[in-house]
Amino acid sequence: MKVYLDTADLGFIEYAFDKHPDVAGVTTNPSLIKKAAGKDFSVKKLDSYITQILEIAGEGNPVSLEVTARDKDGIVRQANNLFNKYNDIAGNVVIKVPVNPYTNGKSSLDGLLAAKELHEVGIPVNMTLIFTVYQALVSAEFAEVAMVSPFAGRIDDYLRQKEGIEFQKSDYYPANGVLGPNGYPISDNGIVSGVHLVYDIARIFKKKGLPTKVLAASIRNPRQALEVAAAGADIATLPPSVFEEYSTKGKAVVIEIPTQEIDQRFYTLPTNRNIPTNYIAHPKTEEGIEKFTKDIIPEWEAICNGELN
């Protein structure tokens, strides 16, 4: 499994690529850009900051940049702006697109339709905010995206919240799930943990021979990083705190892999444009869109829109 850095912090990116030559990419999102940029970033400064991230990561190490638009044409336009502006630097730009952007508060297929158009013109897409196997499968089969990002930690949050289990953000959640009051593991669409979600996606991609990479995201602790590796993730993107621990002392952990069978229904997809919108809806995708949208800073939006002055 390859490791990417889940941060837009230039200092950390510089440090990690210098100290750990095996780091293979970077993922950003509007919240991470807001966190890294602080208060006094002009559009020009943010532009140079992004340029430096791409240079440090270098050729062959993909850097995901996320659009802020929520409608198909807006996503395609911004993706082209970002790709045309930045990809010449090191040839490593990947455009992050939400699988279901909830345009005007309503579940929509705009992310998938945009990603398909981008694939057709050769722009690689990282389909983000994936919380179900179906969202991943339709992204890979219909839109032929380069990678999908299942949010392992946020699914674990969701499962715990369903049962009122208290937790800290970095707490480990068992890959095989936690038994609920009815004696069965707490589950969501048959998924019992973030690691299980990654496992089912990786397994179905393999079974179907799909080239789309599984990029495990929202990783909260080093043990979860090891478990997604064992579950078949091609890549895990790690925030700085997890990266530090994973790269120094992570390897001595016992790994249990969930063994549940994939539900047969995942093997059949509706044909092309007849994908029902509700098939790709998920409350955590909707919540993720709300959070990212709140965190969009005007300077990043300006860059996405190609307004650089």
Please list the active-site residues.
Answer: 96
Is residue 78 within the footprint of ligand G3P (CB under 6 A)?
no
> Cβ closer to ligand G3P: 114 or 152?
152
27 binds ligand G3P (CB under 6 A): yes
Q: How far is the CB of 64 from ligand G3P (least distance, A)?
A: 8
CA 225 – CA 7 distance, rounded (Å): 16
Find all residues with CB under 8 Å of 182, minimum gap 6, and list them.
Answer: none
Q: Does 6 bind ligand G3P (CB under 6 A)?
A: yes
Distance, in Å, from the CA atom of 100 to the CA atom of 280, rounded to the nearest integer, reads 7
Among 5, 24, 25, 29, binds ligand G3P (CB under 6 A): 29
Binding of residue 217 to ligand G3P (CB under 6 A): yes
Our CB check for ligand G3P shows the closer of 34 and 154 to be 154
Which residues, in sequence order, are CB contacts of 102 under 8 Å at separation 6+? Answer: 70, 108, 285, 286, 289, 290
Which residue's CB is nearer to ligand G3P, number 153 or number 258?
A: 153
Using CB under 6 A as the binding rule, whether residue 221 contacts ligand G3P is answered as: no
CB 181 → ligand G3P: shortest distance, Å?
A: 26
**Residues 223-242 vs ligand G3P: string with x where CB under 6 A?**
--------------x-----
Nearer to ligand G3P, 86 or 151 (CB): 151
Rule CB under 6 A: is residue 97 a binding residue for ligand G3P? no
Q: Which residues in 70-86 are b (16+ Cβ under 10 Å) and which e? A: bbbebbbbbbbbbbebb
Match 């994908």 to its residue by tokens.
Answer: 275
Q: Which residue has the tokens 């602080």?
A: 38
Could you give phi then psi for residue 11, rounded to 5 degrees? -60, -45
Closest contact distance (angstroms) between CB of 151 and ligand G3P is: 6
Contacts of 105 (CB under 8 A, 6+ apart): none
Nearer to ligand G3P, 266 or 285 (CB): 285
Alpha helices for 68-151 (secondary structure H): 72-90, 110-120, 133-141
Residue 188: Cβ within 10 Å count: 18
- Contacting ligand G3P within 137-196 (CB under 6 A): 151, 153-154
Kindly write out the interface string for residues 117-136 of this chain, putting x where it contacts ligand G3P by CB under 6 A and - elsewhere: --------------------
Q: What whole-number distance in Å separates Cα of residue 81 and Cα of residue 67?
A: 10
**Least distance from ligand G3P to the Cβ atom of residue 264, Å:** 30
List interacting residues with ligand G3P (CB under 6 A).
6, 27, 29, 151, 153-154, 217-218, 237
